[in-house]
Amino acid sequence: MTHYPAVSLKRGKEESVLRRHPWIFSGAVKSLPPGLAEGDTVSVLASDGTPLGTGYYQIGSIAVRMYSFSARTIDTAFFCHRIAAALRLRRALGLVREDNNALRLVHGEGDRLPGLVVDLFGATAVVQAHTVAMHRQRQAVADALKDVLGDALHAVYYKSEGTLPFKANTGAKDGYLLGGEEEGGEADSVALENGLRFRIDWLEGQKTGFFVDQRDNRDLLRRYAQGRNVLNMCCYTGGFSVYALAGGAERVCSVDSSSRAVELTDENVRLNFPDTDRHEAVEADAFRFLQDGGAKKYDLVVLDPPAFAKHRDAVPQALRGYTRLNELALRHMPAGSLLFTFSCSQAVSRQQFRLAVFTAAARTRRHVSILHQLTQPADHPVSIYHPEGEYLKGLVLYVE
């Protein structure tokens, strides 16, 4: 067993660790060992010296994130053990099958690997570190992925430039190969989700290249799309648009402020419906598009904006943004419409988001009913000891 520098807690501050919460805040720390660097693995001790587990140190309000609530050596074997457990869960969920090879394999604290995200797209894994420690462990993670997945894995890409802490002096770059071979052609970058095909831009796309967290919600939209005119705002790669077409939508309009997103959406539509004339993609600002009455012609609208609040200080402004966006849509949608509306801001609570949408509805004085309350799928698990892991919130509304 490897011995690590010890972080000691103040008296009484071990209670959250004993309840298996994986974060230790800086105010709970009594002393740090000299020379400790961000990302170093540490042993955590109660004030009386009782061992509490193994974690890693980071600079900021969260001083330690826990790898384990027992003494562990943190090496490739440790990552193999955790990733193998995560894979067993995904297989038990039925996500690894012929018509679906796009899924989240590792979801941070939900899979007991805080600060680490791994998405699988067929034979390619995309690794994303959210902390300096996981950045430093990136090669051990890649080696563990190859050990666990074997011949089913051809390539491991690293994509963390946009997720590492601001000013972290890591020298991280995006889109480089950690293991395996470069993909050989266009077919290698196409993943299957519920039988539908999507081009994954894991080199330059947002996050890991595709938002797998909306898979179940896209499938729900497919059930409602028959015969409807669908507006997909902030479409990114057009996931909701493709599902709407698969569900028999009369026509679909995809809107995004990014020209690259519009191109990817058009490409994904062509991958699945090469001869369709039911789809158009528009490059436009979401607020301006809706303010100009853009929702008037559509009886199913999707509002899936990027995170408006990446930290708690931004929450008030984010709530105003969610309220305004939903109000603009609700004000112009025809009677009998459906609104799929989302927030992916972890700092915004489910109650706060619902209140923002309620405020939007109240301002329009329309009758609005909640049909579904949505969240992230099961391959984005939330540890019962870490409710902060729940970040995706959604509502399906019926608008009269």
Whole-angstrom distance, CA of residue 238 vs CA of residue 138: 30
Q: Give mean pLDDT, residues 213-233.
A: 98
SS3 65: strand
Q: 89 falls in which pLDDT band (50, 70, 90)? A: very high
Query: What per-residue confidence (pLDDT) applies to 166?
Result: 57
Q: What is the 3-state secondary structure (H, E, C) of 288-340?
A: HHHHCCCCCCCCEEEECCCCCCCCHHHHHHHHHHHHHHHHHHHHHCCCCEEEE
- Looking at the predicted structure, is the pLDDT value of residue 205 above 90? no
Least confident of 17-26, 66-75, 181-190, 240-249: 181-190
- Looking at the predicted structure, is the pLDDT value of residue 175 above 70? no
SS3 180: strand
Whole-angstrom distance, CA of residue 140 vs CA of residue 286: 41
Torsion angle of the four alpha carbons 56, 57, 62, 66, in this order, in degrees rounded to the nearest 10: 20
Q: Give mean pLDDT, residues 150-175.
A: 75
Which amino acid does the sequence have at 189? S
Query: What per-residue confidence (pLDDT) applies to 309?
Result: 75
Across the strands, what pairs with 24? Answer: 64
- Looking at the predicted structure, is the pLDDT value of residue 297 above 80? yes
Q: Give mean pLDDT, residues 128-147.
A: 96
Q: Give mean pLDDT, residues 318-341.
A: 96
Query: What per-residue confidence (pLDDT) applies to 162?
Result: 77
Query: What per-residue confidence (pLDDT) applies to 201?
Result: 80
Query: What per-residue confidence (pLDDT) applies to 310?
Result: 76
295 neighbors 231 (Cβ within 8 angstroms): yes
* Domains parsed from the chain with CATH numbers: 6-68 (2.30.130.10), 76-192 (3.30.750.80), 211-399 (3.40.50.150)
Q: Give mean pLDDT, residues 200-226.
A: 89
Sheet strand arrangement including 51-57: 23-25, 62-68, 51-57, 41-45, 6-9, 29-31
- Looking at the predicted structure, is the pLDDT value of residue 184 above 50? no
99 neighbors 109 (Cβ within 8 angstroms): no
Which amino acid does the sequence have at 143? D
DSSP state of 264: H
325 neighbors 303 (Cβ within 8 angstroms): yes
Least confident of 6-15, 59-68, 100-109, 186-195: 186-195
Where on the phi/psi map is residue 129: left (φ > 0), alpha (ψ -120 to 50), or beta? beta
Q: 187 falls in which pLDDT band (50, 70, 90)? A: very low
Least confident of 1-10, 80-89, 183-192: 183-192
- Looking at the predicted structure, is the pLDDT value of residue 395 above 60? yes
Whole-angstrom distance, CA of residue 271 vs CA of residue 259: 18
Reported as type and span, the H/E element at residue 86 is: helix 76-92
Query: What per-residue confidence (pLDDT) applies to 181?
Result: 65
Query: What per-residue confidence (pLDDT) applies to 185?
Result: 47
Whole-angstrom distance, CA of residue 190 vs CA of residue 177: 18
- Looking at the predicted structure, is the pLDDT value of residue 204 above 80? no
* Between residues 179 and 368, the one the model is more confident about: 368
Where on the phi/psi map is residue 17: left (φ > 0), alpha (ψ -120 to 50), or beta? alpha
Residues belonging to the active site: 344
Q: Give mean pLDDT, residues 359-382.
A: 97
Q: How far is CA 198 from the centre of its chain?
A: 17
Q: Give mean pLDDT, residues 332-360.
A: 96
Over pLDDT 90: what percentage of the chain?
84
- Looking at the predicted structure, is the pLDDT value of residue 179 above 70? no
- Looking at the predicted structure, is the pLDDT value of residue 171 above 80? no
Q: Give mean pLDDT, residues 249-260.
A: 96
Query: What per-residue confidence (pLDDT) applies to 307?
Result: 84
DSSP secondary structure, 206-261, as one string? STTSS-GGGHHHHHHHHHH-TT-EEEEES-TTTHHHHHHHHTT-SEEEEEES-HHH
Mean pLDDT computed over every residue of the chain: 92
How many helices (H) and strands (E) would you count in the chain? Answer: 10, 20
For residue 48, give both structure tokens: 């009386």
pLDDT tens-digit profile of 265-284?
999 999 999 999 999 999 99
Does the pTM surpass 0.85? The reply is yes
Whole-angstrom distance, CA of residue 344 vs CA of residue 247: 25
